[in-house]
Amino acid sequence: MAKINQSIPEFKVQAFHNGEFKTVTSDDVKGKWSIFLFYPADFTFVCPTELEDMAKHYEELQGLGVEVYSVSTDTHFSHKAWHDSSEAIGKINYYMLGDPTGTLTRGFDVMIEEDGLAMRGTFLADPDGIIQVAEIHNGGIGRSAKDMVRKVKAAQYVRENDGEVCPAAWEQGEATLTPSLDLVGKI
């Protein structure tokens, strides 16, 4: 499985983005924060609710310097057809990566081999392409984009404030912790 503090895998895939087909590579995503939002398949049930939820938070994420890449083993052609036919998916302005060979999905180790589909996996990579957040959900459990925004802010804070850490459920502006001998046993 793709692990915390490891580099994202190298890849080159086709994407549907803002009405166009584009090539996206691992080199293209470096230099900014990136969310990879793997989902099982287009034209399904939980998936459009998650992708629409992420679309609602996309502008805020962009303001934080984050690009979003949804990924399934469907083609970029299927992504366009879904975007054109679904009210929920029609709201998406972020990249929809096609991975019909499963190379990217396997690179993040979220492939369900017997089905040829991606697990419900979310990864946050920093501007160096290093994974800072990784989580996998059961296929029937939808994710929360709002909580992902919170995790982005926490990861950015920790990167910018060496020696500080964010406690559970930390929200921007709240107190952080500075681990030290004096803090041991006092929390």
The CATH classification number of 12-183 equals 3.40.30.10
pLDDT average, residue stretch 83-111: 97
Write down the domain spans for the chain: 12-183
Two tokens, residue 2 = 């793709």
Is pTM, for the whole model, over 0.85?
yes
> Among residues 8, 24, 35, 47, which one is catalytic?
47
- pLDDT, one tens digit per residue, over 50-71 is 999 999 999 999 999 999 999 9
Whether 34 contacts 41, CB under 8 Å: no
User: Which of 97, 119, 106 shows the shortest CA–CA distance to 2?
Assistant: 106
| 55: Cβ contacts below 8 Å, ≥ 6 apart | 91, 92, 93, 94
Annotated catalytic residue 166: no
For the chain, what is the total number of helices (H) and then of strands (E)? Answer: 5, 9
Query: In angstroms, how far is CA 154 from the centroid of its own chain?
Result: 15
pLDDT tens digits, 147-169: 999 999 999 999 999 999 999 99
